[in-house]
Amino acid sequence: MGVCQLIMCHNLPRIGYKSPYNKNITNIIPQMIKVGTNVKSKIHDDLTGHVVICQPLNNYAVIMTDIIDYEMMTVECFLSDLEVA
């Protein structure tokens, strides 16, 4: 946890610069996950679905998953907790 705090403290953008808050976040999140990609969770073994919202700079995604054949549910999660199915 100390390493994450150290990265965030040293990568604060200067006023006037248009850069992401944490430049290293793009190295952590796999770039092949985008909208429409079938994914599964690294943490919850029963969460699989496809990405409907993807915000790589915020490490945020919304997954649409089937509860049963005719009922769907959306789940918010971290992009870093997902892998391509």
pLDDT tens for the 85 residues of the chain, in order: 444 444 444 444 444 444 455 555 555 555 688 999 999 999 988 899 999 999 988 999 999 998 788 889 999 999 999 999 8
| pLDDT at position 31 | 60
The Cα-based distances of 71 to 30, 63, 65, 66, 82 in angstroms read 29, 14, 9, 6, 22
Cα Rg, the chain, nearest whole Å: 15
| pLDDT at position 17 | 46
Confidence (pTM) = 0.62
Number of domains in the chain: 1
